[in-house]
Amino acid sequence: MVQTALQQMSIAQPRLTPEQVKALEHATGLAGARLALALLPQARQLSLAPVSNFAVGAIAMADSGYWYLGANLEFAGLALHYSVHAEQSAIGHAALHNEQHIQAVVVSASPCGHCRQFMQELNQPVTITLPEAEHALGELLPYAFGPADLGIDGGMLSPEPGTLHHASDDTLLKAALQQANLSYAPYSHNRAGVALQLADGRIITGRYLENAAFNPGLGPMQLALSQLQLQGGRPEHITRAVLVESAAGISQYPGAAQLLAASSAVTLEHVS
């Protein structure tokens, strides 16, 4: 039913507008979380999981009324920590559209501890909707450690804007710079953004989303390649790639360069 409605409305993008959500509710008779659960197979189809062969789909439902699809992404031949989880994919998708609040994350499988910690960085009440039940994030992650424990008032979706500057008219570099200034790195201060140029002229971007527990953070190249996957692109479509980051005690470049090299013949340009 949902697949037919999507085809009839010519909805192919992994981001649903409030108007599209309402139209789907009218066409299917499903509303809110019930509709989102019915859309999870569409999200799972966006998965690329050559290591686990386990597809996971997620939808981040923003207060704005927009819904953001996400799916897990794995990289054959690389360590598993490079993987992008479906919840990270959906929330990162929302972050790239500058959403300020996620009211619910609908996911096809119970979130792992990694994803629960990642969602804790939102620093706001979030409902986790599963096919069999609905939970507050606090129920799934009791005694949580997050930004508030380190004196951070905001969260992943409300970073302080950066002030990085580069005197260049290079469109791709400026896109990466913009993402670096919008990135969230309150602990390391390693603001970082990635921009990928595709053969068809599109620019795909990603930004660094840090975590109080450090390891569950999402790197800018991981988010950019996740977006590439969600938007129907492939690594072989990349013609140029740029990483812009602030000088700090850590660097995104080694990991981002390794990740790109495993996916594309393009060399990563680095501006620090």
Distance between CA atoms of 163 and 165, rounded to whole angstroms? 6
CA 125: distance to chain centroid?
A: 19
From CA 244, how far away is CA 263, in angstroms rounded? Answer: 19
Q: For position 65, what pLDDT does the model report?
A: 97
Whole-angstrom distance, CA of residue 94 vs CA of residue 184? 14
pLDDT of amino acid 6: 63
Instruction: Report percent pLDDT > 70 for the chain.
Output: 97
Nearest to 97 by CA among 223, 268, 265, 221: 223
Q: What ranges in 45-157 are assigned the alpha helix state H? A: 86-96, 113-120, 137-140
pLDDT on residue 7 = 61
Residue 8: is its pLDDT beyond 70?
A: no
Residue 73's φ and ψ, nearest 5 degrees, are -135, 125
User: Strand, helix or coil at 240?
Assistant: strand
Active site residues: 87
The answer to whether residues 200 and 237 touch, using CB atoms and an 8 Å cutoff, is yes
Convert the pLDDT of each residue in 118-152 to its tens digit.
Answer: 999 999 999 999 999 999 999 999 999 999 999 88
CB atoms within 10 A of CB 8: 10
Predicted local confidence at residue 13, as pLDDT: 81
pLDDT of residue 2: 72
d(CA 209, CA 231): 20
Tens-place pLDDT, residues 59-116: 999 999 999 999 999 999 999 999 999 999 999 999 999 999 999 999 999 999 999 9
**Using one digit for the tens of pLDDT, what is the confidence trace for 199-238?**
999 999 999 999 999 989 999 999 999 999 999 999 999 9
- Cα atoms in the 13 Å half-sphere on the side-chain side of 71: 25
For helices 220-230 and 253-263, what crossing angle results, to 10°? 30
The angle subtended at Cα 252 by Cα 250 and Cα 254, nearest 5°, is: 100
Amino acid at 89: S
Radius of gyration of the chain (CA): 18
116 Cβ neighbours under 8 A, 6+ residues apart: 137, 140, 141, 144
- Residue given tokens 């981002």 in the structure block: 256
**What are the backbone angles phi and psi of residue 137, rounded to the nearest 5°?**
-55, -35
